[in-house]
Amino acid sequence: MTVSKGAERHAEASPIFASDRLDTLDVLRGFAVLAIFIVNVKMMANGFNHYRDASLWNGEVAQLITFLHSRFVHGKFVTIFTALFGAGLALLLARSRPVPLYIVVRRLFWLGVFGTLHLVFLREGDILVWYAMAGVVALPFTWLSSRTLFLAGFVFQALAFSIYNFVPSPEVDIPTLWQTTPDAHRDVAVIMLGSLGDQVAARAETMPYYLFYLFILEGVWIDTLSVMLLGMALLKTGFLSGRKTPKQYLFIGVLSLCVAFGRDVLIPHLDSEDGFQALMISAIGQAHYLAAALTWSCAIIGAVVMGWPARRFAAVGRTAFTIYILESAIGLLLFSSLGLGLFGQLSLEVLMAITAAVWIVFLVAAPLWLSRYQYGPLEWLWRSLTYGRRQPWRRATE
């Protein structure tokens, strides 16, 4: 039977269905999107200064929680999330029937649209628009070998390190929502407990700072790009797809753990006032995030390889876009005037209890949703916009 060129193009420009997905990627993405909420909720509830400065939280229990966050959560899972985004780009373009490049570009365009809407209407800390921008730059790298990708990833890491440490930051007015002074949360509270118009205006004010100053001038785009490339490399080696043996995951995990927490051994012996030693502290800190993210990845993927099904986390991973947006919506409903108006009123212990409840809800709801539908609601909308046609939503077995 012959197939027309139009039909061939239609077949090639098809999204990934549930049967085509790699479970390890879904499980890892599920863990990452839930863990990101652990630290993001601090910003939602009290402002960026409480996200940035652990000393602003009162009480011994709160200080213990912030210590655990800094060692095991903060910066680790967003690194995993970013690496998985890069891996996802490579997966789209490296399939037996690769998605056409124009479709992938359109996919990134719509992600940027969603990210911009999220940035203005829900939360000033959006990462989707960053992914869309860096993803376009990452596209030419998707066809490279794993070895070349590793090399490029670490070269960009070195470049980001150089910008962070050697390029002076330009003078810029920091928007209220991104200020880090000890009392900044009071000004943020006025915004968050004000009208919807006040909140939207304040977030819109952050856009030039967030997208141009932070992302472009400060070099975050290079850092983001480097992690995406490392994610592509890890996919092509079979690491992210669970093709290594349990012993290999254990070995890599132990090695990366030693690198990650070598920070706690080395940094206390370094003098931050000394120029060279200050650079060492910065380099050790940058290595810490990458190594800790790799450690978590080894632990989670290794557990799946050894037989842990993690179906609930896989379901969360398959609806990660929807859940990421819902996390912001939950924060808005809890802490702003649009909902309960609890901004600045809850202890860190209570916030962690709320986080646990949110985890439970998503771990229960995601599998139930996917038992009836192929995609999460926003995943379905994103795919429909990307492919220019309404995608099948309900499962064919119904």
In terms of Cα–Cα distance, which of 267, 291, 251, 298 is closest to 157?
291
Predicted pLDDT of residue 16: 43
Phi, then psi, of 373 in degrees rounded to 5? -125, 150
Q: Look over the chain and give the mean of its residue pLDDT values, rounded to a whole number.
A: 91
* Per-residue pLDDT at 37: 98
Q: For residue 388, which phi and psi values (nearest 5 degrees)?
A: 70, 20
Q: How confident is the model at residue 20 (pLDDT cuts 50, 70, 90)?
A: very low
| pLDDT tens figures, 337-373 | 999 999 999 999 999 999 999 999 999 999 999 999 9
pLDDT at position 264, please?
A: 86
Angle at 304 between CA 315 and CA 356, to 5 degrees: 50
Lowest mean pLDDT among 4-18, 75-89, 112-126, 127-141: 4-18
pLDDT tens-place string over residues 300-338: 999 999 999 899 999 999 999 999 999 999 999 999 999
pLDDT classification of 94: cutoffs 50, 70, 90? confident
Helix (H, G, I), strand (E, B) or coil at 161: helix
Chain centroid to Cα 180, Å, comes to 22
Q: What is the pLDDT of residue 396?
A: 65
Give the C-alpha separation, 136 to 221, whole Å: 11
**Residue 394 phi, psi (nearest 5):** -70, 150
pLDDT digits (tens, 9 = 90+) for 177-228: 999 999 999 999 999 999 999 999 999 999 999 999 999 999 999 999 999 9
- In 59-100, where does DSSP find H-type helix? 60-68, 76-93
Residue 7 scores a pLDDT above 60? no
Please give the average per-residue pLDDT across 113-120, as a whole number: 97
Q: Which residue in the block uniquely carries the two structure tokens 């947006």?
A: 325
pLDDT given at position 356: 98
Is pLDDT at 397 greater than 60 in this prediction? no
Share of the chain above pLDDT 90, in %: 83
pLDDT of residue 160: 96
Alpha-carbon torsion angle 324, 326, 332, 333, nearest 10: -160
Q: How many Å apart are CA 306 and CA 101, to the nearest integer? A: 36
- With 70 as the cut, is the pLDDT of residue 166 above it? yes
Calpha distance 28→304 (Å, rounded): 10
- How far apart CA 107 and CA 124 sit, in angstroms, is 22
Q: Which of 284, 280, 286 is CA-nearest to residue 227? A: 286
- Nearest-angstrom CA–CA distance, 103 and 113: 15
Say yes or no to pLDDT of 154 above 70.
yes
Q: How far apart are the first and last CA of the chain?
A: 30
User: What local confidence, expressed as pLDDT, does residue 8 receive?
Assistant: 36
| Percent over 70 (pLDDT), the chain | 93
User: DSSP per residue over 244-275, as a string?
Assistant: S-HHHHHHHHHHHHHHHTTHHHHGGGS-TTSH
Give the least confident one: 115-129, 181-195, 382-396: 382-396
Residue 271: its pLDDT value, please? 81
Between helix 196-207 and helix 184-192 the angle, nearest 10°, is 130
Cα–chain center distance at 345: 27
Flag whether pLDDT at 3 surpasses 60: no
Q: Residue 341 pairs with which residues in a beta bridge?
A: none
77's tokens: 């899972």
Residues paired with residue 267 on neighbouring β-strands, in sequence order:
none
Q: How far apart are CA 269 and CA 313, in angstroms?
A: 40
- The pLDDT value given to residue 52: 93
pLDDT higher than 60, residue 122: yes
| 111 contacts 132 by C-beta, under 8 angstroms | yes
Q: Rounded to whole angstroms, how far apart are CA atoms 222 and 390? A: 35
Q: Could you report the per-residue pLDDT of 29-56, keeping only the tens digit for each? A: 999 999 999 999 999 999 999 999 999 9
Which of 6-20, 119-133, 272-286, 288-302 is the least confident region? 6-20
**Of 20-24, 80-84, 306-310, 331-335, which gets the smallest average pLDDT?**
20-24
The answer to whether residues 119 and 132 touch, using CB atoms and an 8 Å cutoff, is: no
